């Protein structure tokens, strides 16, 4: 909800560069009920958002994504890997300074395959990085390309 309020503020103040919005419009919404018709998009991205939801919410979000994808459309997104040490997750709660107290889930490869099994085509990759000066803190994501 906090992210949605930030996007709404940006939309009201129009502080984003005009070139960013030159051919498109930005709509604030809820991933559990995407405000678009069935089959609207050829591509949908979900970069670093799914793992901040419950499993039930993730399943509902992915169903909404499939609903909004055109035939042959592609979802491209990430979901946190169980090997992540940056968030310092304990009992489903992040303890890192920037997200302290946030609910977060970490996923194994098997879990990712299961969650995304509702898509017809699935390709999975893996990404690991760290912030400069914090090599001991691994930021780990599964990268998912899924066809509706």
Q: Could you report the per-residue pLDDT of 101-112, keeping only the tens digit for each?
A: 999 999 999 999
76 exposure class (CB count in 10 Å sphere: 0-12, 13-18, 19+): middle
* Helix, strand or coil, per DSSP, at residue 29: coil
The Cβ of residue 73 has, within 10 Å, a number of other Cβ atoms equal to 18
Please state which of the ranges 25-39, 52-66, 84-98, 132-146 shows the lowest mean pLDDT. Answer: 25-39
Examine the pLDDT at 25 and tell me if it is beyond 80: no
Residue with tokens 């912030």: 131
**Is it the case that residue 1 has pLDDT exceeding 60?**
no
- Report DSSP state, residue 37: -
Task: Tell me if 39 sits within 8 A of 72, measured CB to CB.
Answer: no
Residue % of the chain over a pLDDT of 90: 71
> Which ranges constitute the DSSP H helices of 41-147?
55-68, 109-115
Give the other-Cβ count within 10 Å of 14's Cβ.
Answer: 9
Q: Is the pTM of this model over 0.85?
A: no
53 within 8 A of 77, measured Cβ to Cβ: no
pLDDT at 18 over 70: no
């Amino acid at each position: 909800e906090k992210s949605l309020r930030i996007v709404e503020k940006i939309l009201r103040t129009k502080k984003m560069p005009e070139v960013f919005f030159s051919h498109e419009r930005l709509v604030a919404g809820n991933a559990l009920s995407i405000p678009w018709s069935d089959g609207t998009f050829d591509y949908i991205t979900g970069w670093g958002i799914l793992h901040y939801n419950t499993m039930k919410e993730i399943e509902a979000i992915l169903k909404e994504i499939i609903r909004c994808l055109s035939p042959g459309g592609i979802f491209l997104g990430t979901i946190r890997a169980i090997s992540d040490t940056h968030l310092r997750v304990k009992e489903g709660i992040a303890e890192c300074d920037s997200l302290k107290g946030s609910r977060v889930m970490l996923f194994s490869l098997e879990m990712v395959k299961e969650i995304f099994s509702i898509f017809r085509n699935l390709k999975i990759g893996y990404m690991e990085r760290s912030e400069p000066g914090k090599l001991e803190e691994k930021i780990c994501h599964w990268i998912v390309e899924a066809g509706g």
